[in-house]
């Protein structure tokens, strides 16, 4: 069993897409084992995306991610990290495969509806960024 962090980004929350997006994960066999609506201020957004600090889109991305509430969850399942990224689709919605979250609901390469961890180490760090151990349920319970 693997865990990954998912974020439904501000524009998708504002458009009322939390239920539709979660439903994609659940239908794909990923279990929601932790979840909350929260908000990043600019400084916490910068900290979350620290790996992208030198990228040209860093300032705009962290501004965007602090514009409104986000829905963060921990998804659990076999191969959850890769499966989540498959369901999300390519970073740029214009290049994402049909039937993916970003294809169906992403606005542009920045406002692309969802975030998903990209490797076991980043998943662990990103889960710990938002959740304490006792906020995460084991999927059997």
Catalytic residues: 115
Beta carbon nearer to Mg ion, 94 or 119: 119
Q: Is residue 125 a contact residue for ligand UDP (CB under 6 A)?
A: no
Beta carbon nearer to ligand UDP, 109 or 125: 109
> How far from each other are the two terminal CA atoms of the chain, in whole angstroms?
14
Q: How far is CA 22 from CA 27, 66, 90, 127, in A?
A: 9, 21, 18, 17
Q: Is residue 115 a contact residue for ligand UDP (CB under 6 A)?
A: yes
DSSP reduced 3-state for 74 = strand
Residues that bind ligand UDP (CB under 6 A): 52, 57, 61, 91, 109-110, 112, 115, 118
């Amino acid at each position: 069993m693997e865990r990954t962090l998912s974020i439904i980004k501000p524009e998708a929350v504002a458009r009322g897409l939390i239920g539709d997006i979660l439903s994609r994960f659940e239908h794909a066999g990923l279990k929601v084992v932790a979840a909350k609506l929260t908000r990043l201020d600019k400084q916490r957004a910068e900290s979350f995306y620290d790996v992208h600090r030198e990228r040209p889109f860093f300032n705009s991305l962290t501004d965007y991610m602090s514009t409104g509430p986000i829905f963060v969850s921990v998804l659990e399942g076999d191969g959850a990290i890769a499966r989540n990224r498959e369901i999300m689709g390519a970073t740029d919605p214009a290049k994402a495969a049909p039937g993916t979250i970003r294809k169906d609901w992403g606005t542009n390469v920045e406002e692309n509806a969802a975030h998903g961890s990209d490797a076991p180490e980043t998943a662990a760090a990103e889960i710990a960024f938002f959740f304490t151990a006792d906020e995460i349920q084991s999927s059997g319970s």
